[in-house]
Structure 1
Amino acid sequence: MKHKKSELLLWEAIGIPFLIMVGLTLEFAYKTLNQNFVIGLFSVVNNSMWENLKVGFFPIILFSLVENLSLKESADNFFTAKALEVIFMSILLSISYLLFKYNLINSLIINHNILFVVICTLSQILSFRVLTINKNYSYLNLLSFLFLIICTLIFFAFTINPPSNWLFEASRRLNNILKF
């Protein structure tokens, strides 16, 4: 059974404010909640490029769990849509991180938040477009599901034991920008 485009559009539209609110919450949750280990697995522990990808990844995963239960897996290519959304959002978040790190964007906190809102919106639009493709790619959907599980495990592993690499090192400039 296929869902109507209007129902899928509604779910993806509901996802936009959810991603924004949860993502912005995860940005500060670790420090706000006294550096709780479990919270640190899902939220930004430092302002490294890698850690900032969590603000996009985990809200998508959380919303996808709720959305998938509601759609009862009848939306074709659901996990493919979500995997592509994760990849797309990660690329855009990485670009925005680098733009801030190298002073290519004004350092006001509002610009960072507005950029995050735009990224969440564009990511949900991409997800909707993939969800409404008329062909069902079941093998790709299965691979996408496995990709999302592996990414989750990698985020946990690299949060607990980050490699010594520039990708995992905090930017001092971003630390200063993101403070209130």
Structure 2
Amino acid sequence: MFEIYLSSYSKRIYRKRAKITTFVGMLCILLISSLLHFGFEFFGRIKWTGALFAVNESIWEHLKIGFFGGFIFYIIEYIIYGRRFENFVVGKSVALFLIPFLTAVFYFLYTAFFTENLFFDIMTLFLAIIIAQLVSLGITLSKKKIKKAPFVILIILLLILFPLLTYFPPKIPHLFYDFAHNRYGI
């Protein structure tokens, strides 16, 4: 009987911790992503650092820093409490897909009606992070067990694609072209 109470109490504690870190994570992911934006310049434009940091002002590079900002935060979150939840990896995988996807959707929607604006650029990322975090929380706390394998494969693909397409960007102007410096890639 005492073990059941402890187990139930422990679950409540970790559910509460998951909710708190979801909201804290919204700001932390935005902060980490912001740091990743300036890392390439900070480290002297060393070519291998471009795998993680934004190497130019293209949309792709901004999607990459949102993805890696979330990835870094989710690793920390996993260490703190993530192993306690059956669907943690699935929830965070969905979030890691949603952050760049929604950022792109919001960016292209707002630039269809308005000129590009730094404040709106930041808000598109932040709105994507908020939605991704809330969806992730719902999946993480779900009692329905979801198979991890397809989601792990998705994350592995994104971990490969973001750096790969930084070094070998396709000639797609609105996604990979850096209009600020008139170039693709590094």
TM range (shorter): 0.7 to 0.9
Q: CA 1:171/1:9 → structure 2, altered by over 3 Å: closer, same or farther?
A: same
5+ residue gaps, structure 2, are: 1-6, 182-186
| Matching residue of 1:170 | 178
1:106-121 → structure 2 map (5 Å cutoff): 106-121=115-130
One-letter identity of the residue aligned with 2:57: N
The number of residue pairs the alignment matches comes to 171
Aligned-pair Cα RMSD in Å: 2.4
1:97, 1:71 → 2: CA distance?
A: 33
| Structure of greater Rg | 2
1:100 Cα deviation (Å)?
A: 5.6
Could you tell me the TM-score, scaled by structure 1's length? Answer: 0.82
Distance 1:72 1:16, change over 3 A: closer
Corresponding position of 1:92: 102
Q: Which residue is equivalent to 2:47?
A: 37
5+ residue gaps, structure 1: 176-180
Whichever residue aligns with residue 131 of structure 1, its letter is T
More relative contact order, 1 or 2 (CA 8 Å, 6+ apart): 1
What is the CA–CA distance in structure 1 between the aligned matches of 2:61 and 2:178, rounded to whole Å? 9
CA separation in 1, counterparts of 2:84 and 2:127? 28
Give CA-to-partner distance per residue, 1:112-139, whole Å, 9 cap, x none.
22332222222111111111111111x2
Aligned residue among 149, 162, 169 for 2:156: 149
TM-score (norm 2): 0.79
- How far does the alpha carbon of each residue in 1:42-75 deviate from its partner, in whole angstroms, 9 at most, with x for none? 1221222222211210011111111111225221
